[in-house]
Structures are given as C-alpha cells and as structure tokens.
Amino acid sequence: QALGITSSQDRAIIKKKLKEMKASLEKARKAQEKMEKQREKLRKKEQEQLQRKSKKIDKSLSDATEGTNEQ
C-alpha cells in the first residue's frame, strides 16, 4: 500500500514475483559458488600433479648423478 498499489491481487502478484526473483537469484549464486569450488578443486589437482612430476624428475636426476659418481 505504501507504493500506491491498492488492489490486494496486484500486491499478491508483486509479492509472488519478488519471491520468484529472490529464489532465482539464490539459485544463480549457489551455481556460481559450485563452479568456483570445482575450479579450485581442479587447480589444486593440477598443482599436485605438477609437484609430483617435479619430484619425480628431481629423483631421476639425483639417481642419475649418483650412478655417475659411483663409477
């Protein structure tokens, strides 16, 4: 009524639309958060793979240098 809408039906329609808009906004926010979590998970997984790969390379290099030192 403060907005000048006197019809109770119009007010009900506006309330319903507002509720739908809020629900839609919340759904979009949750979807975005889910995507961000997935990206973060992928980034961490890639970092772990790079670390494992670099450790493997370091180990093979150290094994190779130890082998040449023994001869």
pLDDT in tens, 38-51: 999 999 999 998 88
Residue 66 lies inside a defined structural domain of this protein: no
CA 71 – CA 62 distance, rounded (Å): 15
Non-local (6+) Cβ contacts of 5 within 8 A are 11, 14
Helix H or strand E segment including 21:
helix 8-70
Number of domains in the chain: 1
Averaged pLDDT for residues 19-25: 98
**CA 22, 27, 30, 36 torsion: positive or negative?**
negative
Q: Which carries the bigger pLDDT value, residue 23 or residue 8?
A: 23
Are the beta carbons of 14 and 5 closer than 8 angstroms? yes
Mean pLDDT of the chain, nearest integer: 84
Range of the domain at 54: 1-61
Residue 71 lies inside a defined structural domain of this protein: no
Residue 41 lies inside a defined structural domain of this protein: yes
